Amino acid sequence: MTDGQKEGKPARVPEAKQAGEVRDRWAWAEPCVWTERMLTALETGVKGGKWFSLIDKVGSGRVLRWAFARVKANGGSAGVDHQTIAMYEQQLEQQTEYLGRALREGTYQPAAIRREWIPKPGSREKRPLGIPTVRDRVVQKAIQATLEPIFERDFAEQSYGFRPGRSCKDALRRVDQLLKEGQTWVVDADLKSYFDTIPQARLMKLLEEKVADGRVLELIRQYLRQGVLEEMREWRPEAGTPQGAVMTPFTQKITWARHLPGNA
């Protein structure tokens, strides 16, 4: 659902006039990652348009503890290591210390994803669901919290899918508004198996346009290449991002938003 002629370009970010205004505009951005100083730089622009030294945010103990709290709130099963959320929490400080050190040193290695098949609503088909380990879900949540504002700044105004602070109801309200304004054309389209076919090279190129921290980029590459364990057989996908992974909706937005009017 778009009104490309009117909304094709990203919304203009107004300049901050006093302390607190920037934070208000980015209220959804996680404060333990995004300080007001960083948000101001986000709005005014950084040198070369690229962000450096982000691994220190991803590997911060404070950020990793926050990320675990979010993972715990979402629930979910154990991954290939059979470690549950409760088991991880019992060793939270040790896990946090290990993750922080491994991420900053560039030695962290993601585990394989456990794949299950679940019913597809409204269909007899089933869809694959990837279940990362709790540890990997924590790391991916920390990456998402760190990178999401950088890319959200340029997403088109008419985009609603997986956007922070937006919901299906917001999209429906916009549809209702457009209908009342006399817009009567609706295009309903679905990309088959989009998550499974996202071109990884294209995704990494888009990430590299704004992120220059090699350790963060390499970590994302590892997540894209991590093995999939299915019925005792492990294989590595050559395209796409696993459904069920924390970062998948975020990476999907990056590739899809560039196809919207005004974002080419």
**Widest distance between CA atoms in the chain:** 59
235 membership: H or E segment, kind and range: strand 233-235
Are the CB atoms for 246 and 138 separated by under 8 Å? Answer: no
| Per-residue pLDDT at 255 exceeds 80 | no
139 membership: H or E segment, kind and range: helix 134-152
| Per-residue pLDDT at 263 exceeds 50 | no
Q: Which amino acid is at 221?
A: R
- CA–CA gap between residue 56 and residue 175 (Å, rounded): 41
pLDDT of residue 10: 52
pLDDT tens profile 13-35: 544 445 589 999 999 999 999 99
pLDDT tens profile 139-190: 999 999 999 999 998 887 888 888 888 889 999 999 999 999 999 888 888 7
Average pLDDT over residues 240-261: 71
pLDDT tens profile 56-96: 999 999 999 999 999 999 999 999 999 999 999 999 999 99
Average pLDDT over residues 238-261: 72
pLDDT category of residue 221 using cuts at 50, 70 and 90: very high
**Percent residues over pLDDT 90 in the chain:** 56
Token digits for 203?
């995704």
pLDDT category of residue 6 using cuts at 50, 70 and 90: very low
Mean of all residue pLDDT scores within the chain: 86
Torsion angle in degrees (nearest 10) through CA of 29, 204, 200, 224? -60
